[in-house]
Amino acid sequence: MDEDDRHDLELHRLVSARERPAFDELYRRYGRSAYGVALRVTSQDLIAQEVVQDAFLALWRAPEAFDPARGAFRSFFLSLVHHRAVDAVRREERLRRRTERAANLEPATGEDPAEDVVEDAYLRVRRKEVRAALATLPPAQQQVLEMAYFEGKTQVRIAEELGIPIGTVKTRTLAAMRKLREALREEWES
Partner 1 sequence: MTVDHERIDELLAGYVLLSLSGDEAAEADRILVDHVPSCATCRATLSEFQAVSGDLALAAPPVDPPETLLPRLHHAMDEVPLAGRTPRRGALIAVAASAVALVAMGGLSLVLGSRLSNAETRTGTALEILSAMRSPGASPVNVTPQDQTPPDSGIVEVSAPDIRTLYLAAEFCPEPAPGHGYQLWLGSDGQWTPVDKMFWPEDGVLLVEVEGVDVARYDEIWITEEAVGQPPTRPSTDGPSWFGSLT
Residues 13-72 that bind partner 1 (CB under 8 A): 20, 23-24, 27, 31-37, 39-41, 45-47, 49-50, 52-54, 56-58, 60-62, 64-65, 67, 70-72
The radius of gyration of the chain from alpha carbons, rounded to an integer in Å, stands at 18
Number of residues that bind partner 1 (CB under 8 A): 86
Residue 133-172 contact track with partner 1, rule CB under 8 A, x = bound: -x----------x--xxx-xxxxx-x-----------xx-
Closest approach, Cβ 27 to partner 1, in A, equals 6
Residues 70-89 that bind partner 1 (CB under 8 A): 70-72, 74-79, 81-83, 86-88
Binder of partner 1 out of 1, 2, 107, 113 (CB under 8 A): 113
Eight-class DSSP state of 151: T
> Residue 188, interface with partner 1 (CB under 8 A)?
yes
Quote the CA–CA distance of 92 and 117 in Å, as a whole number. Answer: 29
Eight-class DSSP state of 168: H
Q: Are 79 and 86 within 8 A, CB to CB?
A: no
Quote the CA–CA distance of 3 and 178 in Å, as a whole number. Answer: 26
In the complex with partner 1, the residue whose CB is nearer, 10 or 105, is: 105
Angle formed at CA 124 by CA 118 and CA 130, multiple of 5 degrees? 145
> Residue 4, interface with partner 1 (CB under 8 A)?
no
In the complex with partner 1, the residue whose CB is nearer, 102 or 156, is: 156
Q: Are 35 and 52 within 8 A, CB to CB?
A: yes
Closest approach, Cβ 61 to partner 1, in A, equals 5
Quote the CA–CA distance of 121 and 104 in Å, as a whole number. Answer: 38
